[in-house]
Structure 1
Amino acid sequence: MILAALLSWVLVGGFITASRRYGWGQKVRPELPQSHQVKSGTPTAGGVGFVLALLIVWLGYRITGQATDPREVLLLLVALGMGVIGLIDDVLKIVSRQRGGGKKELLAREKFPLQLLVGFAFAYFAAPLASHRLGVDLGQVTETILFTLVMVGSANAFNFTDGIDGQLAAVSIIILLPLVLVSPTAALLIGALLGFLWFNAYPAKVFMGDMGSHAIGGLVAGAYILYADVWALPLAAIIPVAAVLSVVIQVAYFRLTGGKRFFRMTPIHHHFEVGGLPETQIMMRFCIVTAIGTAAAWWLLGGRL
């Protein structure tokens, strides 16, 4: 964890320097709260730095013969697989902004099949290794389908959670903390996120981007499937679940009512921002809710690793 944190700190810092030199700053959407408009030009895709740190330290761990558990290999591969999908999205956005045109991002109909492919590949190999600490075993075929959908849902839910300085990294650390002693890959991600948070804490000097959020979503879901129980994940990841549900509710309500909004703005953290709460307060309260949800999930699991 210490090595991952230090390497992440170095790589993310270097990424910020390169981003400023080459103009990889993010253009803030005009519909976001006014407090976000001053962030225009902030380097984005900083997830590249901490994902690379995770990979390098993990490979070192593997070379020493300590990361031999196949579950750890699956966790790294699903994080990288989802991360690459997010990286494609990040690169398209940056190139489009620099050139003033071209393909702006991956469309949903392009992104979902790729997420399904990565999710299914993970689920196929993870189903026989999955933990069932709550005692619900649906069988390998059913669980392969379930884990695929959970993986896709998690990648998108964690992506929606990334919208306030420091929020996604802090929330993810809390969710993963109970696994720190049983999963080296989860522990390394915590360390890498600590290095990233050094620069991403309010006011952020770098944004995570889709590569980081997708990689986190994949690894968190995978860790709970393999070491805890898939049914404990929605409770521990209550904030990402709330974020994606808020978007679904907003879109459905908008269509059903012919243009009315259920929330002031989505994802849910922007609803509170528009209501007048500062980013730091929202982030801290979301962390508190996550800590309670994670504690409750592990109480249901028996409170033991």
Structure 2
Amino acid sequence: MLYYLFRFLGEYGIPGSHIWTYISFRALLTLILSLVISVWFGEYFIKWMKRHNVSEAQRDKSIDPYGVEKKGVPTMGGIIIIVSIIVPCLLFGRLRNIYMILMLITTVWLGVLGFADDYIKMKVSKDGLRPVYKLAGQTLLGLFVGLTLWLSPDAVIRENVSTQRLGNTEVVVHKSEKVKSTITTIPFVKDNNLDYAEIMSFCGKYKTAAGWFLFVVMTTLVVVAVSNGSNLNDGMDGMAAGNSAIIGVALGVLAYVSSHIAFASYLNIMYIPGSEELVIFICAFVGALVGFLWYNAYPAQIFMGDTGSLSIGGIIAVTAIIIHKELLIPLMCFVFLMESLSVILQVNYAKWGNRKGLKLRVFKRAPIHDTFRVRPGQLAPDVKVLCNWPKGCWLESKVTVRFWIITVILAAMTIITLKIR
């Protein structure tokens, strides 16, 4: 809203009004405000939750050896994150921008879905929302995002198609016209554009429509996978918030260079007009998560719950899709991917063992972060574990920080893909 106010004032020559047109200025203000709101609002929210006795049930000691320390900790802390994202974006963002609209809808939709799950866990059943309903909500969002990017006339790109040499420097020249495109980026490949329409070329004259259909399906799969991976990663104090903030920084860099035609030309990537508003949103996202860590770092004063974990996963997924970098997600979100794969492997291996009358496990416990805090002798003697590492039990804070370090390395590698091909 302030963007439109100062743009209006700029028409009358009010000094200083033009500064609101700079992405860097609005982005930094958004980062600061979201962090402040997260810390300030978080304190009052935690007090309110404790006053009304709204807390997560004590965790089973056999699953979480630190459960005694976490009795009565409030949940639904994702509300803090969502408020801290939305308020700065409403103030400093361009609200008529298609990408900003999509990100706000993603945040609210998955926030409501996660809130329903948390509420049912507290008031009705500890199992929460039935998985089929949760999956349906994620799928609907993925379809909505994919179809919007397909049908909206504002969701366009300018392709990087030719190279000119200026002295010893090669400069990429983008097409002058903005086009709808099913192109995405392949990492570590010189000609790093993959066209979904070309994959569907066997459809003949319908290959463009088929390409968009494949894009919508891919969008839905990415939204479901990343939001579930983020949800599984939320099992230790500060784990999901810290990892997601780091990923958010990498996404912010990718969004900025994609929205700046000079950087897009230098890096030989597609230019996406209007995606600069994603930088504003991602700054709010990172600021909200860092502020949330003020209370969520070990020992946590509040848990984000599904209200937060589903939202942050969806935000990461949709941002990557908008800037045509969804194929970078396995690298950037490798921690989320491993969490999901560990659960899939554990469940299927255990089922296979049950048919043979054996108690078989791939890891000592899943998701993968839980295997690092299993104490010696904690598993039943008749359980056979395929991967019995580590031998001891790590402190929760150590596990969390080491996962952060891994994510920092992966985020740096993601940014490096802009140059390494």
| Equivalence map 1:99-138=2 (5 Å) | 104-127=127-150, 129=156, 132-134=184-186, 135-138=193-196
Match of 2:252 in 1: 180
Q: What is the alpha-carbon distance in structure 1 between the residues aligned to residue 243 and residue 58 of structure 2?
A: 23
CA distance in 2, matches of 1:219, 1:131: 21
Q: Specify the SS of the correspondent of 2:350.
A: helix
Work out which structure has the larger RCO, using CA pairs closer than 8 Å and 6 or more positions apart in sequence.
1
Structure 1 vs Structure 2 CA RMSD: 1.8
Letter of the 1:115 counterpart: Q
Contact 2:79–2:307 under 8 Å retained in 1: yes
Q: 1:204 aligns with which of 276, 281, 300?
A: 300
Alpha-carbon distance between aligned partners in 1 of 2:140 and 2:252, rounded to the nearest angstrom: 28
2:107 and 2:314 in contact (8 A); partners too: yes
Using the alignment, how far apart are the partners of 1:186 and 1:82 within structure 2?
A: 17
Partner of 2:398: 281
Q: Which moved more, 1:31-40 or 1:10-19?
A: 31-40
The reply to whether residue 261 of structure 1 matches residue 361 of structure 2 is yes
Alpha-carbon distance, 1:104 to partner: 4.9
> What amino acid sits opposite 1:264 in the alignment?
K
1:4-83 alignment runs, 5 A limit:
4-30=34-60, 31-62=62-93, 66-83=94-111
C-alpha contact (below 8 Å) 2:59/2:70 kept by paired residues: no
CA positional deviation for 1:22: 0.8
Give the Cα–Cα distance (whole angstroms) in 2 for the partners of residues 141 and 253 of structure 1. Answer: 34
Counterpart in the other structure of 2:174: none
The one-letter amino acid of 2:49's match is: S
Identify the match of residue 332 of structure 2 among 218, 236, 248. 236
Superposed displacement of residue 180, structure 1:
2.9
Match of residue 225, structure 1, among 321, 324, 340: 321
1:139-188 CA-to-partner distances (Å, cap 9, x unmatched) read 21101001101101111100000011111111011111023353211111
Identity %: 31
SS for the counterpart of 2:194 is coil
SS at match of 2:236: coil
**SS of equivalent to 1:52:** helix
Asked if residue 193 in structure 1 is aligned to residue 289 in structure 2, the reply is: yes
> Normalising by the residue count of structure 1, what TM-score does the alignment of the two structures yield?
0.91
Matches of 2:341 and 2:294 in 1, distance apart? Answer: 29
Say whether the 8 Å CA contact 2:248–2:286 is kept in structure 1: yes
Check whether the contact 2:373–2:394 (CA below 8 A) recurs between aligned residues. Answer: yes
Count of matched residue pairs: 295
Give the counterpart of 2:310 among 214, 218, 231: 214
What is the letter of the counterpart of residue 343 of structure 2? Answer: V
Shift of 1:131: 6.8
Contact 1:67 1:184 (C-alpha < 8 Å) held by counterparts: no
* Displacement of 1:269: 0.7
Determine the C-alpha separation between the residues in 2 that align with 1:293 and 1:196: 23
Question: Equivalent residue for 1:140?
Answer: 212
Structure having the higher strand fraction is 2
| Alignment-mate amino acid for residue 34 of structure 1 | P
- Specify every segment of 5 or more residues in structure 2 that has no aligned partner in the other structure, as ranges: 1-30, 157-181, 187-192, 197-210, 257-278, 375-391
TM-score by length of 2: 0.67
Moved more, 132-141 or 156-165: 132-141
Aligned to 2:370: 270
What amino acid maps onto 2:403 in structure 1?
A: F
Whole-angstrom distance in 1 between the partners of 2:227 and 2:419: 27
Deviations 1:227-278 (A, max 9, x none): 2511101101111111111111110100011132111111111101114011
CA distance in 1, matches of 2:352, 2:237: 33
